Chains A and B, each alone.
Chain A
């Protein structure tokens, strides 16, 4: 694999993949997991993760896509149980680090042993509020105020290659921009009954 994930030494520690019975240890364990997920997603700009922990890593040079399951360490042959993974998702949701694709609260049950395959989450290494501030700052910095800017331009224009939000999925951007609308700083424009652009004042 050409993409380098930065996995800490504890990632090779076999018990990290087994749910620890001691509560304070388990909290530390979950905290460790969240750290691993957030740091790697931020570094490789991985915006989504499936409920099982699959992340798509795109090689910046070759554009090749590799799927990597964070909860499965092939090197030491250990993986997290669905129940434990759910516990991690729950904690992340509580801390505002995870968002459902449609922006609604996730339904995570700890009793259920199965993980549906199609579900995917957005990983928020920055909170929605913080993202909103950063995008607002960009609007002001690049004098885009009072202009209609499409979602596509914000996240996909080559001019924004060095911006932290470059390559962000548009539905996630929509969730963030909604905050600006709520603050009364922006209005969104529809095309074919779908929001596609925004004007910030």
Chain B
């Protein structure tokens, strides 16, 4: 029966709710199907491993497919710990991962991330060595994105933003690597810098997001913290 006035919308409401329910059901089914498909894909990859390795066209299509459906090719193994791909592809995938991590954490650490943090927090579950990282970063550095490996007090740090660190900034990061933070008085005593120099370099590093300020100390002096401290406190 046809309804008139406001009552006519009641049916619409019911139809709307039913469609909503159907959508939910469909999503559920699709998720399930996708799960099965992913399983099959890994099976397929294992079976055709040799061909994936030897045929570049097939390989790129396969990788593309993996990406589309949300499978991490780094997680595909042949056997227990042998990766599916030959070393080059592996490094290639790794370098993409590194770029992603740097992008995601850029606002937190100003584009500086230590190798320890990469290995201990992000690549903890994967069998990745420092050598792999160096190789992967080498690969992306050809892209001119400003990726560079720095050495501060013996620890390797990856810089992913194109602005060059000055000598003074590097010195401050060295101080931070010991205490976790730096301050004007700390720099004056240890590096014999003038007050103005300490202040201006520190402020500059806050502006570029490399250091975080902490104004709640008992010494009544501003402390400047290196966010790398967060990852370090995890491993201690």
Which A residues fall within an 8 A CB radius of B?
A: 9-10, 12-18, 20-22, 24-25, 27-28, 77-79, 183-185
Contacts and interface: CB of A to CB of B under 8 A. Distances in A.
Given A9-B234, A12-B233, A14-B225, A25 B212 contact: yes
B214 A14 contact: yes
B167 interface: no
30 contacts: A9-B230, A9-B231, A9-B233, A12-B233, A13-B212, A13-B225, A13-B229, A13-B230, A13-B233, A14-B214, A14-B223, A14-B225, A15-B212, A15-B213, A15-B223, A18-B213, A18-B214, A20-B212, A20-B213, A21-B206, A21-B207, A22-B207, A22-B208, A22-B209, A25-B107, A25-B209, A27-B107, A28-B107, A183-B17, A184-B10
| B-side interface size class | 20 to 34
A77 B216 contact: yes
Contacts of A79: 216
B66 interface: no
Contacts of A77: 216
A17 B217 CA distance: 11
B42 interface: no
Given A15-B214, A20-B212, 8 more contacts: A9-B234, A14-B216, A15-B223, A21-B206, A77-B216, A183-B17, A184-B10, A184-B13
Interface of B: 10, 13, 17, 107-108, 110, 181, 206-209, 212-217, 223, 225, 227, 229-231, 233-234
Contacts of B215: 18
Contacts of A183: 13, 17
